[in-house]
Structure 1
Amino acid sequence: MMLIPHDLLEAETLDNLLEDFVTREGTDNGDDTPLDVRVERARHALKRGEAVIVFDPESQQCQLMLKSEVPKEWLQG
């Protein structure tokens, strides 16, 4: 697993990643908050350091995780 610094991504790439994440099945939990608001919440969580982008090279998938849920060894280095 690799952590991807959000500030190194192109703006459009980050927008697409956040939109993909907040629209994945199971992420809305019945929340009818508008898409743009959910994307901004995720963006702010990244900026505040509360969330991180994790890339799995094996599956070639990115996901957004709460920093508190990331194994400590992933954060070192």
Structure 2
Amino acid sequence: MLIPYQDLDLDTLNNLIEYFILREGTDYGEQEVSLPEKREKVLQQLKKGSVVILYSELSESVTLIHQNQLNQQMQLMDGQ
């Protein structure tokens, strides 16, 4: 189930974004990018819809996922 980012408390959203950044090991090239800058970039992706918040009822967990990754997973599930 997708959760609109606007439905989350700001602290919860920031913690989720930070976990996503650290989990992804995001590489921004040769230039170092601070955590607040990375957090802002992910927030912008949430606002654009290129990253979404996904709640898994099976594992009872919440994560951020790139929309294209979610689409690929959905296609694989539909093909089974």
TM range (shorter): 0.7 to 0.9
**Structure 1 segments unaligned to the other structure (5+ residues):** none
Distance 2:26 2:5 in 1: 22
Percent identical across equivalent pairs?
30
Q: Higher helix proportion, which one?
A: 2
Secondary structure of 1:70's aligned partner: helix
1:17 paired residue number:
16
1:58 Cα deviation (Å)?
2.2
Q: Which runs of 4+ in 1 moved over 4 A?
A: none
1:35 Cα deviation (Å)?
0.7
Distance 1:38 1:17 in 2: 13
1:19-63 C-alpha deviation (Å, 9 max, x unpaired) = 111112x42247642111111110000011111011112223222
Residue type of the alignment partner of 1:65: I
Q: Which has the higher Rg, Structure 1 or Structure 2?
A: 2
User: Is 54-63 or 2-11 further displaced after alignment?
Assistant: 54-63
After superposition, residues 1-77 of structure 1 pair within 5 angstroms as: 2-24=1-23, 26-29=24-27, 32-71=32-71
Cα RMSD for the two superposed structures: 2.2
**Structure 2 segments unaligned to the other structure (5+ residues):** 75-80
